[in-house]
Structure 1
Amino acid sequence: MGPIEIIGVSIAGLIILMVLLFLFQFVGLYLQAWVSGAKVSFFGLVMMRFRKVKPRIIVENRITAKKAGLEIPTDLLEAHYLAGGRVTNVVRSMVAADKARIDLPWEVSAAIDLAGRDILEAVRTSVNPKVIDCPDQAHGRATIDAVAKDGIQLKARARVTVRTNIARLVGGATEETIIARVGEGIVSTIGSAVNHLAVLENPDNISRVVLEKGLDAGTAYEILSIDIADMDV
């Protein structure tokens, strides 16, 4: 074998070795998916790399979905990844929703995620309502100040229990709107009181009146309760 043949064989061997090393990185993922019952084609894994998709993210989330009894095609996971979506968040939200018996199709979950909302947190809040402080002290206000008709100013703090309304999550107003509306409702209710003593004696009346105003309309939340945490002159 002459020098040219030796060089040719060496180059060919090097190319084959590089190809094998490239393909070897997908073997572990392929076997992991296969053993977990969430089969992904080996060729599909290779093509993900060329499409600038991280195969590990796709495989791990497909396995997560499969173990939870959800069948999410690889194509949907890839498409969402390429669209800039948070694949892991969407899959986890669907698993959480399925366990809580909440109807959450892939299309809805993916659309909410692409809209910039945290769909996983939304599902969690839908299952386990959260409490919002009103006003939000992080914005520099400690109390809601209002003046009754007898000229006495009252300072109040409220706690609003809400749960996410997933159907209104895209396009629905956020927590800030809830806080602002509840604050305005409390100011209006106190302002319509003839005597401040009546307000101090029955703060629950304010909660009831404000709650009846339907302040969650057009927001991403459903108000479950409004409790006056503190009321003072």
Structure 2
Amino acid sequence: MPGVIELTTILMVAVIIIVLAIFFTFVPVMLWISALASGVRVGILTLVGMRLRRVVPSRIVNPLIKARKAGIDLTTNQLESHHLAGGNVDRVVDALIAAQRADIPLGFERAAAIDLAGRDVLQAVQMSVNPKVIETPVVSAMAMDGIEVKARARVTVRANIDRLVGGAGEETILARVGEGIVTTVGSSVHHKDVLENPDKISQTVLNKGLDAGTAFEILSIDIADVDVGKNIGAKLQTDQAEADKQIAQAKAEERRAMAVAHEQEMKAKVQEMKAKVVEAEAEVPLALADALRNGKMGVMDYVNYQNILADTNMRQSFGQTPDSSHGDRKK
């Protein structure tokens, strides 16, 4: 019997230890004690409810303690709802504390909206205090005299808390500044005007109000570097002249081809006419024979015809030069 009693006691102690371990694991008693010690009243049932809603209590209570110590009045419901919406509670609280220290008006609802919009609210508050410098890539533009000018600018911006939700980002600022540089250089008569007064670009770009609709406020635009590039105007004229030359050559080749085709056509017509003459000459003896046979032509007429041919050949032989006759004999 004593052995059974000891075994029962050991089992009871083990069960009690297991129950206590489960209780302290499920119920964050130490976190509740820390909150009470910090002057933040959070009920045990509230912490248990967070466990049931699958919310880590430390992610709510610790930022709440931080906010209360900084003098910011927040509730567990606000922080928990923001956490359940997918926000970063700790970052929002840090942003609220930084805004309070910098005397920037920022409420919890706006900070939570900025965080849920995908922007770093803490970085935005820090940029409101300490402006950020954005450097543009090299922007190439051409002045009216055809000379290329390459410029690079540094844009100093400050975050605008009121326009962080729905405002455009840094890419829009860089695109607008690049457009302003191209417009300013393109409206300059000589590229030397830009080289002598680079601040002309800054003033023109600033006067355009490029920060409208963005999440930033442009404080200054400084031209970091200005270089002279290629003579694009001369290159364009050279390319145009080369294109005109090729067009003229193509048209001349077309005319030459048409002339060759016309010449070939005329030669073909001449050959055709010669063939018809040869064909007609071949029919002359037949016609003479037919005329003699039918009595339409007498013997004396034929003799006179032969005499005329002989006289014609003789006159042709007299009219030839010695060189031509020599050449004929060679042939």
Establish whether TM, by shorter chain, passes 0.5.
yes
Structure 1 residues 19 and 75: alpha-carbon distance in aligned structure 2, compared to 1, 3 A threshold: farther
- Aligned ranges for residues 2-151 of structure 1 at < 5 Å? 14=15, 17-25=17-25, 26-135=28-137, 143-151=138-146
- CA distance in structure 1 between the aligned counterparts of 2:204 and 2:19, rounded to whole angstroms: 72
Unaligned runs of 5+ in 2: 229-331
Q: Which has the higher helix share?
A: 2
8 Å CA contact 1:186, 1:210 repeated in 2: yes
1:37: how far off?
A: 1.3
Q: Deviations over 1:111-143 (max 9, x none)?
A: 1111111111111111110000112xxxxxxx1
- CA distance in structure 1 between the aligned counterparts of 2:34 and 2:59, rounded to whole angstroms: 13
Q: Deviations over 1:61-89 (max 9, x none)?
A: 01110111111101111111111111111
8 Å CA contact 1:23, 1:46 repeated in 2: no
- CA distance in structure 1 between the aligned counterparts of 2:63 and 2:196, rounded to whole angstroms: 55
Question: What amino acid maps onto 1:154 in structure 2?
Answer: V
1:23: how far off?
A: 3.3
- CA distance in structure 2 between the aligned counterparts of 1:47 and 1:154, rounded to whole angstroms: 66
Alignment equivalent of 1:167, drawn from 155, 162, 165? 162
Q: Secondary structure at the match of 2:223?
A: strand
- CA distance in structure 2 between the aligned counterparts of 1:168 and 1:19, rounded to whole angstroms: 53
TM-score (norm 1): 0.89
Alignment equivalent of 1:210, drawn from 188, 200, 205? 205
1:183 to 2:165 alignment? no
Q: Secondary structure at the match of 1:181?
A: helix
Q: Secondary structure at the match of 2:189?
A: coil
1:192: how far off?
A: 0.3
User: Who is 1:139 aligned against?
Assistant: none
- CA distance in structure 1 between the aligned counterparts of 2:217 and 2:168, rounded to whole angstroms: 11
Instruction: Choose between structure 1 and 2 for higher RCO, CA contacts under 8 A separated by at least 6 residues.
Output: 1
Unaligned runs of 5+ in 1: 136-142
Q: Secondary structure at the match of 2:224?
A: strand
User: Who is 1:221 aligned against?
Assistant: 216
RMSD: 1.9
- CA distance in structure 1 between the aligned counterparts of 2:94 and 2:175, rounded to whole angstroms: 31
- CA distance in structure 1 between the aligned counterparts of 2:96 and 2:213, rounded to whole angstroms: 24
> How many pairs align?
221
1:21: how far off?
A: 2.0
- Between 26-35 and 168-177, the greater mean CA deviation after superposition: 26-35
Question: What amino acid maps onto 1:216 in structure 2?
Answer: D
User: Who is 1:140 aligned against?
Assistant: none
8 Å CA contact 1:154, 1:231 repeated in 2: yes
- CA distance in structure 2 between the aligned counterparts of 1:46 and 1:12, rounded to whole angstroms: 25
Q: Secondary structure at the match of 1:131?
A: strand
Q: Secondary structure at the match of 1:84?
A: coil
User: Who is 2:148 aligned against?
Assistant: 153
